[in-house]
Amino acid sequence: MLLFIARRLLWMIPSLAVISVLAFVLIRLPPGDFVTNYIATLAASNEVVDQNTAAELRARFGLDQPMIVQYWKWISGIVFRGDFGFSFEWQQPVGDLIWERMGLTLLLTFSTLLVTWAIALPIGVYSAVKKYSFGDYFATFFSFLGLAIPSFLLALVLMYVAAMYFGQDVGGLFSEQYLTAPWSLAKVWDLMSHIWIAVVILAVSGTASLIRIMRANMLDELGKPYVTTARAKGLSEFRLLVKYPVRLALNPFISTIAWLLPNLVSGSIIVAIVLNLPTAGPLLLQSLMSQDMYLAGAFVLLICALTLVGTLISDVLLALADPRIRLE
Protein backbone atom coordinates (compact mmCIF):
# COMPACT_ATOMS: atom_id res chain seq x y z
CA MET A 1 0.00 0.00 0.00
CA LEU A 2 2.71 2.49 0.98
CA LEU A 3 4.61 1.66 -2.18
CA PHE A 4 1.48 2.27 -4.18
CA ILE A 5 0.95 5.67 -2.59
CA ALA A 6 4.58 6.64 -3.10
CA ARG A 7 4.48 5.66 -6.74
CA ARG A 8 1.28 7.57 -7.34
CA LEU A 9 2.72 10.64 -5.64
CA LEU A 10 5.80 10.50 -7.87
CA TRP A 11 3.64 10.28 -10.96
CA MET A 12 1.90 13.45 -9.92
CA ILE A 13 5.01 15.53 -10.58
CA PRO A 14 5.14 15.05 -14.36
CA SER A 15 1.32 15.27 -14.51
CA LEU A 16 1.35 18.60 -12.74
CA ALA A 17 4.13 19.89 -14.98
CA VAL A 18 2.13 19.04 -18.10
CA ILE A 19 -1.03 20.48 -16.54
CA SER A 20 0.72 23.73 -15.67
CA VAL A 21 1.78 24.20 -19.30
CA LEU A 22 -1.71 23.33 -20.52
CA ALA A 23 -3.35 25.64 -18.02
CA PHE A 24 -1.12 28.51 -19.01
CA VAL A 25 -1.67 27.97 -22.74
CA LEU A 26 -5.43 27.60 -22.30
CA ILE A 27 -5.72 30.81 -20.35
CA ARG A 28 -3.72 32.62 -23.01
CA LEU A 29 -5.70 31.02 -25.85
CA PRO A 30 -8.74 33.33 -26.10
CA PRO A 31 -8.15 36.45 -28.19
CA GLY A 32 -6.86 39.51 -26.39
CA ASP A 33 -5.24 39.69 -23.00
CA PHE A 34 -5.87 41.23 -19.61
CA VAL A 35 -5.34 44.75 -20.93
CA THR A 36 -7.79 44.32 -23.84
CA ASN A 37 -10.36 42.97 -21.42
CA TYR A 38 -9.70 45.75 -18.97
CA ILE A 39 -10.23 48.38 -21.66
CA ALA A 40 -13.35 46.60 -22.92
CA THR A 41 -14.84 46.31 -19.42
CA LEU A 42 -14.35 50.00 -18.76
CA ALA A 43 -15.70 50.84 -22.21
CA ALA A 44 -18.90 49.05 -21.21
CA SER A 45 -19.54 51.90 -18.78
CA ASN A 46 -18.37 54.43 -21.39
CA GLU A 47 -15.11 54.83 -19.51
CA VAL A 48 -11.87 55.41 -21.28
CA VAL A 49 -8.36 54.33 -20.37
CA ASP A 50 -5.67 56.90 -21.04
CA GLN A 51 -3.93 55.79 -24.23
CA ASN A 52 -0.45 56.16 -22.77
CA THR A 53 -1.46 54.09 -19.77
CA ALA A 54 -2.89 51.24 -21.85
CA ALA A 55 0.35 50.72 -23.75
CA GLU A 56 2.26 50.89 -20.52
CA LEU A 57 0.09 48.34 -18.71
CA ARG A 58 0.99 45.65 -21.21
CA ALA A 59 4.69 46.24 -20.68
CA ARG A 60 4.29 46.44 -16.90
CA PHE A 61 2.55 43.08 -16.72
CA GLY A 62 5.04 41.54 -19.15
CA LEU A 63 2.24 40.71 -21.59
CA ASP A 64 4.36 41.86 -24.50
CA GLN A 65 6.94 39.12 -23.90
CA PRO A 66 6.85 35.74 -25.65
CA MET A 67 4.65 33.13 -24.00
CA ILE A 68 7.55 30.90 -23.00
CA VAL A 69 9.21 33.74 -21.07
CA GLN A 70 5.94 34.54 -19.31
CA TYR A 71 5.44 30.89 -18.44
CA TRP A 72 8.93 30.60 -17.00
CA LYS A 73 8.44 33.72 -14.91
CA TRP A 74 5.26 32.25 -13.51
CA ILE A 75 6.32 28.66 -12.90
CA SER A 76 9.77 29.49 -11.53
CA GLY A 77 8.14 31.73 -8.94
CA ILE A 78 5.89 28.89 -7.82
CA VAL A 79 8.53 26.16 -7.80
CA PHE A 80 11.44 28.07 -6.28
CA ARG A 81 9.72 30.60 -4.05
CA GLY A 82 6.18 29.32 -3.57
CA ASP A 83 5.11 32.66 -4.98
CA PHE A 84 2.00 32.49 -7.18
CA GLY A 85 2.49 36.04 -8.40
CA PHE A 86 0.39 39.16 -8.26
CA SER A 87 -3.16 39.47 -9.51
CA PHE A 88 -3.20 42.02 -12.33
CA GLU A 89 -6.56 43.34 -11.40
CA TRP A 90 -6.28 43.61 -7.64
CA GLN A 91 -2.54 44.22 -7.28
CA GLN A 92 -2.62 41.73 -4.44
CA PRO A 93 -0.71 38.45 -4.01
CA VAL A 94 -2.66 35.61 -5.59
CA GLY A 95 -2.11 33.33 -2.60
CA ASP A 96 -3.79 35.77 -0.20
CA LEU A 97 -6.75 36.24 -2.52
CA ILE A 98 -7.43 32.53 -2.75
CA TRP A 99 -6.88 31.67 0.91
CA GLU A 100 -9.10 34.48 2.03
CA ARG A 101 -12.03 32.69 0.45
CA MET A 102 -11.09 29.09 1.17
CA GLY A 103 -12.56 28.84 4.69
CA LEU A 104 -16.14 29.64 3.77
CA THR A 105 -15.82 27.62 0.58
CA LEU A 106 -14.81 24.53 2.56
CA LEU A 107 -17.64 25.05 5.03
CA LEU A 108 -20.21 25.43 2.29
CA THR A 109 -19.01 22.43 0.26
CA PHE A 110 -18.83 20.08 3.23
CA SER A 111 -22.18 21.06 4.66
CA THR A 112 -23.73 20.67 1.23
CA LEU A 113 -22.15 17.25 0.90
CA LEU A 114 -23.39 16.12 4.31
CA VAL A 115 -26.91 17.35 3.64
CA THR A 116 -26.91 15.71 0.23
CA TRP A 117 -25.82 12.35 1.63
CA ALA A 118 -28.10 12.56 4.62
CA ILE A 119 -31.11 13.01 2.36
CA ALA A 120 -30.12 10.97 -0.64
CA LEU A 121 -28.87 7.74 0.94
CA PRO A 122 -31.95 6.80 3.01
CA ILE A 123 -34.37 7.87 0.28
CA GLY A 124 -32.40 5.98 -2.36
CA VAL A 125 -32.40 2.80 -0.28
CA TYR A 126 -36.06 3.23 0.59
CA SER A 127 -37.23 3.72 -2.97
CA ALA A 128 -35.24 0.69 -4.11
CA VAL A 129 -36.59 -1.57 -1.41
CA LYS A 130 -40.17 -0.37 -1.83
CA LYS A 131 -39.97 -0.36 -5.60
CA TYR A 132 -43.10 0.96 -7.39
CA SER A 133 -44.78 1.88 -4.13
CA PHE A 134 -46.36 5.30 -3.58
CA GLY A 135 -43.28 6.41 -1.64
CA ASP A 136 -41.01 5.36 -4.51
CA TYR A 137 -43.04 7.30 -7.07
CA PHE A 138 -43.14 10.29 -4.76
CA ALA A 139 -39.36 10.28 -4.28
CA THR A 140 -38.78 9.63 -7.97
CA PHE A 141 -41.07 12.50 -8.95
CA PHE A 142 -39.28 14.95 -6.73
CA SER A 143 -35.82 13.75 -7.62
CA PHE A 144 -36.63 14.22 -11.32
CA LEU A 145 -37.90 17.70 -10.53
CA GLY A 146 -34.68 18.41 -8.68
CA LEU A 147 -32.65 17.12 -11.61
CA ALA A 148 -34.62 19.18 -14.10
CA ILE A 149 -34.48 22.55 -12.35
CA PRO A 150 -31.11 24.23 -12.78
CA SER A 151 -29.96 25.26 -9.34
CA PHE A 152 -29.13 28.82 -10.35
CA LEU A 153 -32.71 29.25 -11.55
CA LEU A 154 -33.97 27.94 -8.24
CA ALA A 155 -31.70 30.45 -6.53
CA LEU A 156 -32.97 33.32 -8.66
CA VAL A 157 -36.62 32.42 -8.11
CA LEU A 158 -36.08 32.04 -4.39
CA MET A 159 -34.32 35.40 -4.23
CA TYR A 160 -37.08 37.08 -6.19
CA VAL A 161 -39.82 35.63 -3.99
CA ALA A 162 -37.94 36.50 -0.82
CA ALA A 163 -37.23 40.02 -1.97
CA MET A 164 -40.65 40.79 -3.42
CA TYR A 165 -42.98 39.10 -0.95
CA PHE A 166 -41.06 38.87 2.30
CA GLY A 167 -38.72 41.82 1.89
CA GLN A 168 -35.85 39.57 2.86
CA ASP A 169 -32.32 39.41 1.63
CA VAL A 170 -31.20 35.90 0.73
CA GLY A 171 -27.91 36.72 -0.91
CA GLY A 172 -24.58 36.56 0.90
CA LEU A 173 -23.58 34.60 3.95
CA PHE A 174 -23.84 37.29 6.62
CA SER A 175 -26.21 40.06 7.66
CA GLU A 176 -25.00 43.59 7.16
CA GLN A 177 -23.91 44.14 10.76
CA TYR A 178 -21.84 40.96 10.91
CA LEU A 179 -20.06 41.36 7.57
CA THR A 180 -16.84 42.62 9.04
CA ALA A 181 -17.45 41.90 12.70
CA PRO A 182 -14.91 39.62 14.42
CA TRP A 183 -15.99 36.00 14.93
CA SER A 184 -18.42 35.50 17.79
CA LEU A 185 -21.26 33.14 18.68
CA ALA A 186 -23.75 35.62 17.31
CA LYS A 187 -21.86 35.78 14.04
CA VAL A 188 -21.75 32.00 13.76
CA TRP A 189 -25.50 31.90 14.35
CA ASP A 190 -25.95 34.57 11.69
CA LEU A 191 -23.84 32.50 9.29
CA MET A 192 -25.95 29.41 10.03
CA SER A 193 -29.18 31.31 9.43
CA HIS A 194 -27.89 32.35 6.00
CA ILE A 195 -25.93 29.36 4.83
CA TRP A 196 -28.81 26.88 4.89
CA ILE A 197 -30.44 28.54 1.88
CA ALA A 198 -27.31 28.12 -0.18
CA VAL A 199 -26.86 24.58 1.12
CA VAL A 200 -30.42 23.60 0.26
CA ILE A 201 -30.22 25.07 -3.23
CA LEU A 202 -26.91 23.38 -3.88
CA ALA A 203 -28.08 20.12 -2.36
CA VAL A 204 -31.25 19.88 -4.44
CA SER A 205 -29.71 18.79 -7.72
CA GLY A 206 -26.99 16.72 -6.04
CA THR A 207 -29.55 14.91 -3.91
CA ALA A 208 -31.73 14.14 -6.89
CA SER A 209 -28.99 12.48 -8.88
CA LEU A 210 -27.65 10.61 -5.87
CA ILE A 211 -31.11 9.20 -5.12
CA ARG A 212 -31.26 7.88 -8.66
CA ILE A 213 -27.77 6.36 -8.47
CA MET A 214 -28.39 4.80 -5.07
CA ARG A 215 -31.72 3.36 -6.20
CA ALA A 216 -30.22 1.84 -9.33
CA ASN A 217 -27.25 0.36 -7.45
CA MET A 218 -29.48 -1.10 -4.78
CA LEU A 219 -31.83 -2.63 -7.33
CA ASP A 220 -28.82 -4.31 -8.94
CA GLU A 221 -27.83 -5.85 -5.64
CA LEU A 222 -31.25 -6.69 -4.19
CA GLY A 223 -31.97 -9.36 -6.78
CA LYS A 224 -28.69 -11.20 -6.22
CA PRO A 225 -28.71 -14.68 -4.64
CA TYR A 226 -26.70 -13.64 -1.53
CA VAL A 227 -29.55 -11.40 -0.46
CA THR A 228 -32.02 -14.24 -0.77
CA THR A 229 -29.62 -16.52 1.14
CA ALA A 230 -29.20 -14.03 3.95
CA ARG A 231 -32.94 -13.55 4.13
CA ALA A 232 -33.47 -17.35 4.17
CA LYS A 233 -31.04 -17.56 7.09
CA GLY A 234 -33.36 -15.29 9.01
CA LEU A 235 -31.35 -12.04 9.18
CA SER A 236 -33.52 -9.05 10.10
CA GLU A 237 -34.40 -6.96 7.06
CA PHE A 238 -32.64 -3.84 8.34
CA ARG A 239 -29.40 -5.57 9.28
CA LEU A 240 -29.43 -7.43 6.01
CA LEU A 241 -29.79 -4.29 3.94
CA VAL A 242 -27.20 -2.25 5.77
CA LYS A 243 -24.64 -5.01 6.05
CA TYR A 244 -24.60 -6.29 2.48
CA PRO A 245 -26.31 -4.53 -0.44
CA VAL A 246 -25.95 -0.99 0.90
CA ARG A 247 -22.28 -1.47 1.51
CA LEU A 248 -21.75 -2.64 -2.05
CA ALA A 249 -23.96 0.04 -3.48
CA LEU A 250 -21.81 2.62 -1.75
CA ASN A 251 -18.79 2.05 -4.01
CA PRO A 252 -19.80 4.73 -6.51
CA PHE A 253 -20.11 7.22 -3.65
CA ILE A 254 -16.54 6.65 -2.62
CA SER A 255 -15.43 7.20 -6.19
CA THR A 256 -17.12 10.60 -6.11
CA ILE A 257 -14.62 11.78 -3.52
CA ALA A 258 -12.26 12.21 -6.45
CA TRP A 259 -14.48 14.95 -7.81
CA LEU A 260 -15.26 16.32 -4.43
CA LEU A 261 -11.90 17.96 -3.79
CA PRO A 262 -11.72 19.94 -7.03
CA ASN A 263 -15.37 20.84 -6.51
CA LEU A 264 -14.29 22.66 -3.38
CA VAL A 265 -12.90 25.31 -5.65
CA SER A 266 -14.85 25.16 -8.86
CA GLY A 267 -18.18 23.67 -7.84
CA SER A 268 -21.39 25.67 -7.73
CA ILE A 269 -19.88 28.71 -9.42
CA ILE A 270 -23.12 29.89 -10.94
CA VAL A 271 -25.13 29.51 -7.75
CA ALA A 272 -22.41 31.28 -5.79
CA ILE A 273 -22.50 34.15 -8.25
CA VAL A 274 -26.26 34.42 -8.19
CA LEU A 275 -26.45 34.21 -4.41
CA ASN A 276 -23.43 36.45 -4.06
CA LEU A 277 -21.53 34.05 -1.83
CA PRO A 278 -18.00 35.04 -0.87
CA THR A 279 -16.57 31.70 -1.99
CA ALA A 280 -13.81 30.81 -4.41
CA GLY A 281 -16.05 30.10 -7.41
CA PRO A 282 -16.95 33.67 -8.40
CA LEU A 283 -13.33 34.75 -8.05
CA LEU A 284 -12.26 31.93 -10.37
CA LEU A 285 -14.82 32.92 -13.00
CA GLN A 286 -13.90 36.59 -12.74
CA SER A 287 -10.22 35.86 -13.15
CA LEU A 288 -10.89 33.74 -16.23
CA MET A 289 -13.17 36.35 -17.76
CA SER A 290 -10.71 39.17 -17.27
CA GLN A 291 -7.75 36.94 -18.19
CA ASP A 292 -6.10 37.81 -14.92
CA MET A 293 -3.46 35.22 -15.76
CA TYR A 294 -1.69 34.51 -12.50
CA LEU A 295 -4.87 34.32 -10.49
CA ALA A 296 -6.62 32.10 -13.03
CA GLY A 297 -3.48 29.99 -13.46
CA ALA A 298 -3.17 29.42 -9.73
CA PHE A 299 -6.81 28.35 -9.58
CA VAL A 300 -6.54 25.93 -12.47
CA LEU A 301 -3.36 24.47 -11.02
CA LEU A 302 -5.02 24.11 -7.64
CA ILE A 303 -8.05 22.39 -9.12
CA CYS A 304 -5.88 19.96 -11.04
CA ALA A 305 -3.73 19.19 -8.03
CA LEU A 306 -6.86 18.58 -5.96
CA THR A 307 -8.23 16.25 -8.65
CA LEU A 308 -5.05 14.20 -8.56
CA VAL A 309 -5.04 14.01 -4.77
CA GLY A 310 -8.77 13.27 -4.72
CA THR A 311 -8.36 10.38 -7.14
CA LEU A 312 -5.61 8.93 -5.00
CA ILE A 313 -7.68 9.21 -1.83
CA SER A 314 -10.72 7.61 -3.41
CA ASP A 315 -8.60 4.76 -4.78
CA VAL A 316 -7.17 4.09 -1.35
CA LEU A 317 -10.57 4.32 0.31
CA LEU A 318 -12.12 1.99 -2.26
CA ALA A 319 -9.44 -0.57 -1.55
CA LEU A 320 -10.12 -0.30 2.16
CA ALA A 321 -13.91 -0.48 1.80
CA ASP A 322 -14.02 -3.26 -0.74
CA PRO A 323 -11.52 -6.07 -0.28
CA ARG A 324 -12.17 -7.27 -3.83
CA ILE A 325 -10.31 -4.27 -5.21
CA ARG A 326 -6.54 -4.68 -5.54
CA LEU A 327 -4.13 -1.84 -5.86
CA GLU A 328 -1.50 -3.74 -7.79
Partner 1 sequence: MTDTSPADRLDTAATSRRSVLAGFAGAAAMGVPGVALAQEAKEAPALAKLVADGKLPKLADRLPAKPLVVTPIETSGTYGGQLRRGLRGSADHNGILRMVGNQGLVRWNMEFTQVLPNVVESWEVNEASTVFTFKLRAGMRWSDGHPFTADDIVFSIEDCCKNSELYRSVPSPLVIANKPGTATKIDDTTVRIAFEAPYALFLEIMATPLGQHPTLFPKHYASRFHPKYNAGVADLVKAANVADWGALFRAKLGDIEIPARWGNPEKPTLDPWVVEEPYTGGATRVLMRRNPYFWQVDPQGRQLPYIDAINFGISQDVESLMLDAISGKLDIQDRHIDTLQNKPTLSQNMAKGGYRLIELVNSGSQQCQIYFNMTHKDPKMRAMFANKEFRQALSLGIDRAEIIELVYLGQSEPYQAGPRPGHPWHHAALAKQFTDHDTAKANAMLDRIGYGKKNAQGQRLHPDGSKIFFAIDVIPTLYPDLVDTLELVKRHWAEIGIDCKVNTIERALYYTRGDNNEHDVAVWPGSGGLDPMLDPRDFFAQHPQGSRYAIPWTQWYVSNGKEGEAPPDGQKQRMKLFDEARGTADLAKRGAAMKQLFDLTAEAFETVGVCLAVNAFGIANTKLRNVPKKMPASWSWPNPGPAMPQQFFFG
Task: State the nearest-atom distance from the C-beta of 183 to partner 1, in Å.
Answer: 16
Based on CB atoms, which residue is closest to partner 1, 99 or 144? 99
Distance of CA 303 to the CA centre of its chain: 9
CA distances to 129, 171, 188, 215, 306 from 221, in Å: 11, 43, 43, 10, 32
Burial class (CB in 10 A: 0-12, 13-18, 19+), 230: middle
Task: State the nearest-atom distance from the C-beta of 91 to partner 1, in Å.
Answer: 4
Closest to 188 measured CA to CA, from 169, 200, 175: 175
Task: State the nearest-atom distance from the C-beta of 33 to partner 1, in Å.
Answer: 8
Task: State the nearest-atom distance from the C-beta of 199 to partner 1, in Å.
Answer: 18
- Alpha carbon dihedral 154, 156, 159, 164, in 10-degree steps, equals -110
Based on CB atoms, which residue is closest to partner 1, 169 or 220? 169
Based on CB atoms, which residue is closest to partner 1, 56 or 220? 56
Task: State the nearest-atom distance from the C-beta of 312 to partner 1, in Å.
Answer: 30
Based on CB atoms, which residue is closest to partner 1, 55 or 186? 55
Give the total residue count for the chain: 328
Burial class (CB in 10 A: 0-12, 13-18, 19+), 45: exposed
The contact set with partner 1 (CB under 8 A) reads 30-33, 36-53, 55-56, 59-60, 83, 86-87, 89-93, 97, 100-101, 156, 159-160, 163-164, 167, 169, 171-172, 174, 176, 179-180, 272-276, 278, 282-283, 286, 289-291, 295
Based on CB atoms, which residue is closest to partner 1, 156 or 230? 156
Task: State the nearest-atom distance from the C-beta of 56 to partner 1, in Å.
Answer: 4
Task: State the nearest-atom distance from the C-beta of 152 to partner 1, in Å.
Answer: 9
Q: How far apart are CA 50 and CA 232, in angstroms?
A: 83
Task: State the nearest-atom distance from the C-beta of 164 to partner 1, in Å.
Answer: 7
Q: How far apart are CA 287 and CA 169, in angstroms?
A: 27
Write the Ramachandran bin of 167: left for phi over 0, alpha for psi from -120 to 50, otherwise beta: left
Which of helix, strand or coil describes residue 272?
Answer: helix
DSSP per residue, 206-251: HHHHHHHHHHHHHHHHHTSHHHHHHHHTT--HHHHHHHTHHHHHTH
Based on CB atoms, which residue is closest to partner 1, 147 or 270? 270
Based on CB atoms, which residue is closest to partner 1, 193 or 236? 193
Q: How far apart are CA 21 and CA 66, in angstroms?
A: 14
Based on CB atoms, which residue is closest to partner 1, 102 or 240? 102
- In sign, the C-alpha dihedral spanning 113, 281, 152, 31 is negative
